Amino acid sequence: MNDSSETPDPKGPPAAAAGRRPSDPPLPRDDGTVSTDSIVPPVTVVSPEPVVAGATVKKPELIDRVVAQSGVKKRDAKPVVEAMLGVLGEMLSDGREMQVPPLGKLMVGKRKEVSGGEVLNLRLRRTGGAAPGPKSQSGPDEKGPEPGDDAEGAD
């Protein structure tokens, strides 16, 4: 055995040799001061910026946007949008998880019954960041009509 390995250091043993982790608080020295050698510098946590909600979108505006983006007539779009909203509402009330591209994955986080209805806390997970703006009606990169679609203006 080597005598030097058994002789304690006057400043105290290193943190690793004493069985201490670097995250352990520093020990006081004999003179009452605390060693700052093992203190981890403070870490600044940067959180994402809060999302400020815009104006509430109501059903008539939603129908108008569907008409503008799809090109169908309002009288044809309105019952489809209303049926879709009804089906989505029923599925959410049942606690169903939905995968609806390009919207994303929609999950019911919490559900609470209140007088006159229910409160659902929903989580929406989207991949690829925010959704792009509205697409143009037609363009050179878009596919032609799907099989079975009526081609307007065809001879």
Block mean pLDDT (10 aa), the chain, length 155: 51 53 68 65 74 87 95 96 95 92 92 91 82 46 44 43
What's the structural domain count of the chain?
1
Give the span between the Cα atoms of 28 and 38, in whole angstroms: 12
Residue 62 confidence (pLDDT): 95
HSE-up of 114 (CA within 13 Å, CB side)? 7
pLDDT for the residue 13: 52
- Give a yes or no: residue 144 inside a domain: no
| Full residue range of the structural domain in which residue 94 is found | 59-125
pLDDT for position 75: 96
The CA-atom distances, in angstroms, between 63 and each of 4, 74, 117, 132 are 84, 7, 25, 19
Residue 45 within any structural domain of the chain: no
Q: Could you tell me if residue 82 is inside a domain?
A: yes
* Residue 90, in any domain of the structure: yes
* pLDDT for residue 78: 96
Task: State the DSSP code for 43.
Answer: -
In a domain, 116, yes or no: yes
**In the prediction, which pLDDT does 30 show?**
73
What pLDDT is stored for residue 154 in this prediction? 43
- State how far the Cα of 15 lies from the Cα of 85, in Å rounded to an integer: 62
Q: How far apart are CA 37 and CA 39, in angstroms?
A: 6
Model pLDDT, residue 139: 40
DSSP summary character for residue 92: H
For the stretch 77-87, pLDDT in tens is 999 999 999 99
- Give the domain CATH number at 119: 4.10.520.10
The predicted structure's pLDDT at residue 130: 54
Nearest CA-CA partner of 31 in 49, 10, 52: 10
Q: What pLDDT, on a 0 to 100 scale, did the predictor assign at position 11?
A: 54
**pLDDT tens column, 16-29:** 445 667 666 666 67
Pair type for strands 104-114 and 117-125: antiparallel
